[in-house]
Structure 1
Amino acid sequence: MEDYKKIIDRNYLMLLHSEDQIFGSLSEKFSDKLQLEERKKLPLIEQDLKSLDMENRKASGELSFSNENEALGAMYVIEGSTLGGNVIAKQLSKTEGFDDVTFNFFGCYRENTGFMWKNFKEVIDNEVSEKNYDEVLSGAKKLYAFLLNVR
């Protein structure tokens, strides 16, 4: 359970310092095509914190994205984690000691996980030109580095 709490804490700090910034960096075109309102995860992980009797807190690191493509790269990391998160939630829900865990964050899309990932991937594939791939990759690297170093 303590390892799970650490994972939730790190993901909470990552979302706290990135989600609004990512969504605010995206044009209306991406907002509509990606259905951003349905992709908000910060309120879900805050519910998980509460159910685990954990405190909301601030991170010690800084995180910023230079442009829309970097924001999309960071979003790729978050959306990609929903695929594994769904599997984690299913497995842990069968584990002793996890009976009362809510899995709001890891199970965010429930049975729609595949659809939401496919939608995200299609939009990225169709709307991001190859000349911008380096910027997308830069955003993904920034978010991974933040997640690995956040305390």
Structure 2
Amino acid sequence: MTVSEYLKQNTAVYHDAAEKLFNSGKIFNKTFTLEDYKKIIHTNYLMLLHSEDKIFHKLDRYSEKLQLNNRKKLPLIEKDLKSLLLEKTAAGHELELLSHHEALGAMYVIEGSTLGGNVIAKQLSRTEGFDDVTFNFFGCYHENTGAMWKNFKETLDAEVHENKYDEVLSGAKKLYTFLLNVN
């Protein structure tokens, strides 16, 4: 089993909890509101504000392989905050990543949300009330979303030895827990 398969299997409960928290089911039956969207953007902003620099700092050794310069999302979600007239705030608690393996696990959560975010952006762009929404964060990779995910997953699977799977999982769980409790 690859580390990406291990993460998918062992974070499913967190993923499902995040979908429930954000009322994701409402996206596809077109009952998702702008207020629901603002909650997703604000919560993801707090997650990125408290994790992106820490993750990128710990993953400096993979900067080229992971194309880290093309993966920065904080400036994009800040544009969404501004367009939605939401305040920039800080979270009430901190996130600590102890190693580059934990940082890879945290990045798995963010990159996975980007994959899902692309689907969300497409769906919401066809939903009433979202005509003026720009989707800077959710549409960040545009037509390159699949390729960016594939690059991340291949790098993750190639770089992480089986004896470090639990450490990578720890980072993913930390970020999911932060995301689920940040409000």
TM-score, reference length from structure 2: 0.81
Matches within 5 A, 1:1-40: 1-28=34-61, 30-40=62-72
* 1:33 match: secondary structure: coil
Matched, 1:66 2:94: no
Q: Does 1:104 align with 2:140?
A: no
Q: Which of residues 55, 70, 75 is equivalent to 2:107?
A: 75
Question: 2: distance between equivalents of 1:120 and 1:61?
Answer: 28
CA distance in 1, matches of 2:60, 2:138: 27
Alignment gaps of 5+ in structure 2: 1-33
Q: C-alpha separation between the residues in 2 aligned to 1:26 and 1:32?
A: 10
Q: Give the superposition deviation at 1:27.
A: 3.4
Task: Look up the equivalent residue of 2:53 and give its one-letter code.
Answer: D
Q: Shift in Å at residue 66 of structure 1?
A: 0.5
Task: Find the aligned partners of 2:114 and 2:91 in 1 and give their Cα distance.
Answer: 22
1: CA distance, partners of 2:111 / 2:60:
18
Matched letter for residue 91 of structure 2: A
Structure 1: tracts of 5 or more residues without a match: none
Distance 2:126 2:169 in 1: 36
**Cα deviation, residue 34, structure 1:** 0.1
**Matched AA of 2:75:** P
Report the Cα offset of residue 33 of structure 1.
0.2
CA positional deviation for 1:134: 0.5
C-alpha displacement of 1:96:
1.1
Write out the 4+ residue segments of structure 1 that deviate beyond 6 Å after TM superposition: none
What is the aligned partner in structure 2 of residue 55 from structure 1?
A: 87
- Please provide the CA RMSD for this pair: 0.6
SS at 1:32 equivalent: coil
The CA distance in 2 between the partners of 1:2 and 1:84, in whole Å, is: 19
Instruction: Tell me the number of residue pairs that the alignment of Structure 1 and Structure 2 aligns.
Output: 150
161, 169, 179: which one pairs with 1:137?
169
Q: Letter of the 2:51 partner, please give it.
A: S
Letter in structure 2 aligned against 1:49: L
- The TM-score with structure 1 as length reference comes to 0.98
- Within 2, Cα distance between the matches of 1:122 and 1:87? 21
Q: Does 1:127 align with 2:166?
A: no
Q: 2:64 aligns to what SS in structure 1?
A: helix
Q: Please tell me the residue identity of whatever aligns with 2:68.
A: L
Report the alpha carbon displacement of residue 63 of structure 1 after superposing the two structures with TM. 0.4
